[in-house]
Amino acid sequence: MKKTLISAAISFICLHQTNAQVNKVDEVKKMLETSNKDTVAWTHSGILSIGANGGFLHNWAAGGELGSMLVNGIFSGKLDYLNHHDIWSNSLDMTYGLTYNYSSGFVPRKTDDRIDFTSKYGKLIDTSKNFYFTGLFNFKSQFTRGYDYALPNWDSIATSNFMSPAFFTTALGLEYRKGSDVTFFLSPVAARMIVVDDFYTLRSPEGAFGVPYGKTSVFQLGAYFSGRYTFNINKNMVYKTRVDLYANYLAKDTKDSTGTVIKKDNPGNINVLFDNLFSWKVSRHVNITLGATIMYDNNIPYSRTYIDDAGVEQPKNEPGAGLGWVQLKQVFTFGVGYKF
């Protein structure tokens, strides 16, 4: 009997200590989201959402797609390492989506595709005002080939691919940081390298994605700003937003072999990325995710027309044609989710 009581007491004490440690870790993690603490610790957070929906129609009077399925996934995660007055922060955003329709023979078509990784190392320079001297690296690309589905023979030629383009940005600057939820980074000297296969740059006299005709890369030097904010609405709802701005000091008009300007550009054409993500953990394994991204890049123009096989210029049939050069993406996922 004594042994049983002693074992139960030891088990209770161990369980109590374990729960206390878990609660302490959670408290520290919560505190580090909104404040800068002199400590040594790893913190992480993120959202993973994978969803699918489909439909089937037969003899449906209202009409519609006879069979369809949409599959998409979203991952947005952060991993930070704090070492007293130094901080190493990493963020990764990935999205991918495919749609399958009966009318197109269930040939998959992309609805989303993105890789965006940022790593920053900062050293605190003002303990009272939360300013850091920070070095930044950012990488952007995509997973698979992209196509312009508005064209009749869209599958005959790809418009982009993995590492085509790929954007590499390195910068040194000043960062205001309030925990891991609020960061504002500004660099007056940011180098950017754009890489692309010459398969794409040889198709147009002005090149592609800012890379000149026949080349595979271009170097840019400019000013870079990146602001990020995470708002935990409650335990199960989180909203994340991000604004990136880049001005290329070396931007200039593109001319053909005769000296004629075929594309205007200057440092005032600022590249813009405005990213928004809302996630709601409905239950333990069910998640709703809504995302919207707006981008503008003078190096990625929009054309309202295309040249058909007969060499005749034809208008594109696109509902968002009025947006011009602005890039817009909206995604909605209802499915299996995990918040950590």
Q: Residue 75: its pLDDT value, please?
A: 95
Asked if 140 and 171 sit in the same domain, the reply is: yes
Q: Residue 15: its pLDDT value, please?
A: 38
Alpha carbon distance 264, 114 (integer Å): 28
Q: Determine how many CB atoms are found less than 10 A away from the CB of residue 282.
A: 12
Alpha carbon distance 272, 246 (integer Å): 7
Alpha carbon distance 272, 244 (integer Å): 6
Asked if 8 and 142 sit in the same domain, the reply is: no
DSSP states along 65-119: -SEEEEEEEEEEEEEEEEETTEEEEEEEEEEEEEEEEGGGTT--EEEEEEEEEEE
> How does 2-25 read in b/e, with b if 16+ C-beta sit within 10 Å?
eeeeeeeeeeeeeeeeeeeeeeee
Model-level pTM? Answer: 0.86
Asked if 103 and 84 sit in the same domain, the reply is: yes
Amino acid found at 34? T
Nearest to 119 by CA among 140, 141, 135, 143: 135
Asked if 233 and 257 sit in the same domain, the reply is: yes
Asked if 114 and 172 sit in the same domain, the reply is: yes
Total domains in the chain come to: 2
Asked if 137 and 260 sit in the same domain, the reply is: yes
The encoded tokens of residue 75 equal 């991952």
pLDDT at residue 20 is higher than 50: no
Residue 334: partners with Cβ closer than 8 Å, 6 or more residues away: 51, 53, 286, 287, 288, 289
Alpha carbon distance 210, 199 (integer Å): 14
Asked if 24 and 110 sit in the same domain, the reply is: no
Asked if 18 and 125 sit in the same domain, the reply is: no
pLDDT band at 30 (very low <50, low <70, confident <90, very high): low
State the residue range of the domain holding 282. Answer: 38-339
Q: Residue 310: its pLDDT value, please?
A: 67
pLDDT band at 14 (very low <50, low <70, confident <90, very high): very low
Q: What is the pLDDT of residues 281-312, one digit of tens each?
A: 888 888 899 999 999 998 887 777 777 666 67
Q: Residue 199: its pLDDT value, please?
A: 94
Q: What is the pLDDT of residues 64-107, one digit of tens each?
A: 888 999 999 999 999 999 998 899 999 999 999 999 999 888 99
pLDDT band at 18 (very low <50, low <70, confident <90, very high): very low
| Helices then strands, each counted (H, E), the chain | 2, 16
pLDDT band at 238 (very low <50, low <70, confident <90, very high): very high
Distance of CA 197 to the CA centre of its chain: 22
Asked if 10 and 60 sit in the same domain, the reply is: no
Asked if 50 and 195 sit in the same domain, the reply is: yes
Q: Residue 29: its pLDDT value, please?
A: 59
Q: What is the pLDDT of residues 203-235, one digit of tens each?
A: 888 889 999 999 999 999 999 999 999 998 998
Q: Residue 3: its pLDDT value, please?
A: 47
Asked if 112 and 146 sit in the same domain, the reply is: yes
Asked if 28 and 134 sit in the same domain, the reply is: no
